[in-house]
Structure 1
């Protein structure tokens, strides 16, 4: 897995059939255009795209549009351990990659029950890399549409089959830990 320096990285997870953490990377200059395109996919009254709530035909439509965007996606998967053990493994690997590659900003979908542990893990990684300038934040999914890409890819990977094939054009790498 590798990111580009100054990337903005948007992180979501899925707990179905394993624990998936998915990171969508976008160059800083592309974020605004990508967010505009994603907001254009919303149906009237919809605040966000949440893949588990969409019909299959709508999922196919959204995936086709996502695969045209200037984004790169990385997937981390852990199976055979509890969610409580899996999330730190995935998030630590993602944070290490982000620090190694000079990512500017990490945006994580907010889950109040996990924020404290996430902050502790990221803070420890930052202490180990004192020269790093990584900023990070937890946000609501409707605030950052690029989180929807991570959500969609996580859903596709946890459901497998043709869904994985449909999203492959934007996936740059996968890491599986058992």
Structure 2
């Protein structure tokens, strides 16, 4: 399956949620356009946490109509947020290799991106064969498809009504436990 994955995260209390929006290449341009259409004049990106309640509802409704799927990986932060992230990213990278994904785009965390590169590189080396998966970090204002993962991670982590609203786009939800 030729797909692209766009990744962002959310933390709720002691749980880290890593969301990956999976988009088919034929959907990339139209989906980006629809997401940009949600921006106010002068607004550079959607950051769900900062949106008003009516806007949040509109954004979630729009996402549910886009035809994308989002996987969510969750882990406890009790041994550290970075460790939780890398555990989630390890599982995500293995899953993406398993479905033959071509591209992984992560929301940049600037000075911490090297940790993601180490984790993904380790997963790809373990596969031991040529895999088509390429990966990069991009600022969220430069890639609207990252906004899908931002919204899904926030809603899933919020639980209750927000989790119910985002459920139509959720694919696999993976809970990871520490050994």
Equivalence map 1:51-90=2 (5 Å): 51-79=48-76, 80-90=78-88
Matched residue pairs, number?
174
Q: Which residue of structure 1 lines up, in the alignment, with residue 113 of structure 2?
A: 115
The answer for the alignment partner of 2:28 in structure 1 is: 31
Q: CA deviation at 1:150?
A: 0.4
Tell me by how many angstroms 1:82 deviates: 1.4
C-alpha distance in structure 1 between counterparts of 2:23 and 2:79, whole Å: 31
Unmatched segments (≥5 aa) in structure 2:
none
Partner in structure 1 of residue 98 of structure 2: 100
1:43 CA drift (Å): 0.7
Alpha-carbon RMSD across the aligned residues, in angstroms, is 0.9
Separation in 1, partners of 2:142, 2:109: 14
Give the Cα separation in 1 of the matches to 2:61 and 2:156. Answer: 16
Structure 1 residues 1-178: aligned runs within 5 Å: 5-17=1-13, 18-79=15-76, 80-129=78-127, 130-178=129-177
TM-score, scaled relative to structure 2:
0.94
Counterpart Cα distance in 1 of 2:35 and 2:82: 31
Q: Any runs of at least 4 consecutive aligned residues in structure 1 with deviations exceeding 3 A, and if so which?
A: none
Gap runs ≥5 in structure 1: none
Q: How far is the alpha carbon of 1:89 from its aligned partner?
A: 0.4
| Counterpart-to-counterpart distance in 2, 1:134 and 1:160 | 32
